[in-house]
Structure 1
């Protein structure tokens, strides 16, 4: 035992002498590396130091795989190489690179579907993520649960879409199981359709149950819902209209326009969030049948047409004050 320690010490001294003797070589461990820009770098599961060094050289993150491997063995921290995708900063030194791939800063990728994003825009968003692979068709409206989803590099778009749709099926089933008694909607599909209208009609979370209660009241008495987003949907498939609704569009007869028919449209007009689904399944107990914008981003609700007309007059006064109408 006493004779083995000096031998190991001699080997270490020799290696360090070689490194220190070549100042340029040692500077590559601490100094700027050749990477010309920030870049993502993937480390497969089970990657060895030798394989890591080769991949880094191929990515132009280090100048020499052999030299990097030698310096990493002598000067590195001896940690485990992690699998995952990492962000290597521009000009990262060899020391920094090894610390990154032995650390926990795996580069994660996410795709967010906001509440109320229609299927055609989800389709566009997934296609815009150039790190995903493969093609998809425009998904069924209302089939995707708005949320933030983590995705992997080169993951098929179809797989990401399938996870989004599975999340909606699960959420809808869970909310339906907790529904209040005596609802006007009789199936999960009807609840989803009404929730999509609620989602588009109010930007205030606190209003969701009130809007749901109002529409439930209208459905019970056979009164048209008269929801503006149902006019727009057949025209743009949920994308912004970009102009005022035309009178001819208000009168248009189709499977979605709730001004020209009573009852629910034939299907959802967007992808509603879980909160809107829950609001439809637990609507406010209200007698309200009417609503109009109140100037704050929310609505003024009314039980009678007389009350509603007074609220409309207030809203028009606000718009005139703003210079929106004369």
Structure 2
């Protein structure tokens, strides 16, 4: 009897040693990183089979029983994973339970317009381009904002995503981020703001974003536009004209462009344009609702990224001669 028990113990020790050895053996050898996609609803057995199908050097049945024996088989998360060389059964399960997906990132830049946003997403090869066949109207409907123009509605930031994720998911996150930042900014608006709604603040912020070369000038530029809105003066801001020209703009803004009426031409139409002209960042949003309390009505670029501000047309004309016409 003792010999039999000793034999059983020896077998168990040997089995335990073999299992310990196997758990630390690489499933991925060589220099290639494997890509593993686990769809929602996949069973633990299906996960094991998908791992082997992805190229892992293992028996699917052994992997399945490891998942079951660990007690963590139901904690495995769906997602897209990268299995680098040296991945073992133990490290594989830890990765799947953590949901440690392989992530990429796309950056939406402050001041970009909607056309540039769509182009940036289209260049992301690891995204699923579900929006590619959608019109702007259909896309916004998919995001739950039917009838809303997409321009300026997405917050500029860097967004991480799992390989194979939908570009609509990235846009939805950017849309909700802008909602939060705009709501927070509007709640901090100055008591004497000439803006009537958060949407108007978004429009003005987009103009401030495009007009500003130096961050510290944003409240001053917003103050000029706020003053003009209060007295009914034309905003006369070039970026809105350029936006109205669309793809016809060749980089050279001409006098005839300033005189050609479009819904966004603030030289021919009073007040704010009908939509934002770009994506404003947090600084521009805050400047739009908390402008500098200034008497200035004019500003001109100085050539170093900053602007010169003037309360009168006479002073402004002198500044234009000084900074843009070489003092002639």
TM over 0.5: yes
Q: Which of 255, 277, 286 is the equivalent residue of 2:263?
A: 255
Q: Which of 117, 124, 132 is the equivalent residue of 2:119?
A: 124
User: Does the aligned pair in 1 maintain the 2:27–2:58 contact within 8 Å?
Assistant: no
**Which residue is equivalent to 1:233?**
243
1:98-138 Cα deviation digits (max 9, x unpaired)? 42541454323433322222122222333444432523433
1:118-177 Cα deviation digits (max 9, x unpaired)? 122222333444432523433521222223334445444444433433333333233222
Cα deviation, residue 191, structure 1: 1.6
CA distance in 2, matches of 1:14, 1:88: 27
**Which residue is equivalent to 1:223?**
233
**Which residue is equivalent to 1:144?**
154
Q: Which of 25, 29, 47 is the equivalent residue of 2:25?
A: 29
Cα deviation, residue 39, structure 1: 4.1
**Which residue is equivalent to 1:10?**
11
CA distance in 2, matches of 1:214, 1:162: 33
Q: Which of 81, 94, 119 is the equivalent residue of 1:102?
A: 94
User: Does the aligned pair in 2 maintain the 1:219–1:263 contact within 8 Å?
Assistant: yes
Q: Which of 282, 296, 312 is the equivalent residue of 1:288?
A: 296
Task: Show the 5 A alignment for 1:1-326.
Answer: 7-13=8-14, 29-30=25-26, 33=29, 37-43=32-38, 50-62=45-57, 64-66=59-61, 80=72, 82-83=76-77, 84-89=79-84, 92-95=85-88, 98-103=90-95, 104=98, 105-129=100-124, 130-132=126-128, 134-135=130-131, 136-138=134-136, 140=149, 141-236=151-246, 241-316=249-324
User: Does the aligned pair in 1 maintain the 2:130–2:166 contact within 8 Å?
Assistant: yes
Cα deviation, residue 32, structure 1: 6.0
Structure 1 residues 50 and 165: alpha-carbon distance in aligned structure 2, compared to 1, 3 A threshold: closer
Farther-moved stretch of structure 1 (139-148 vs 285-294) = 139-148
1:205-248 Cα deviation digits (max 9, x unpaired)? 221111100111122223222211111112226x9x45221222
SS at match of 1:29: coil
User: Does the aligned pair in 2 maintain the 1:79–1:102 contact within 8 Å?
Assistant: no
User: Does the aligned pair in 2 maintain the 1:62–1:68 contact within 8 Å?
Assistant: no
Farther-moved stretch of structure 1 (268-277 vs 126-135) = 126-135
SS at match of 2:267: coil
Structure 1 segments unaligned to the other structure (5+ residues): 21-25, 321-325
User: Does the aligned pair in 1 maintain the 2:127–2:167 contact within 8 Å?
Assistant: no
CA distance in 1, matches of 2:32, 2:238: 48
Structure 2 segments unaligned to the other structure (5+ residues): 141-148
SS at match of 1:13: helix
CA distance in 2, matches of 1:262, 1:30: 69
SS at match of 1:214: helix
What TM-score does the superposition give when structure 1 sets the normalisation length? Answer: 0.76
What number of residue pairs does the alignment pair up? 303
Structure 1 residues 207 and 133: alpha-carbon distance in aligned structure 2, compared to 1, 3 A threshold: same
CA distance in 1, matches of 2:27, 2:7: 32
Structure 1 residues 226 and 100: alpha-carbon distance in aligned structure 2, compared to 1, 3 A threshold: farther
CA distance in 2, matches of 1:173, 1:15: 59
User: Does the aligned pair in 2 maintain the 1:62–1:94 contact within 8 Å?
Assistant: no
User: Does the aligned pair in 1 maintain the 2:298–2:312 contact within 8 Å?
Assistant: yes
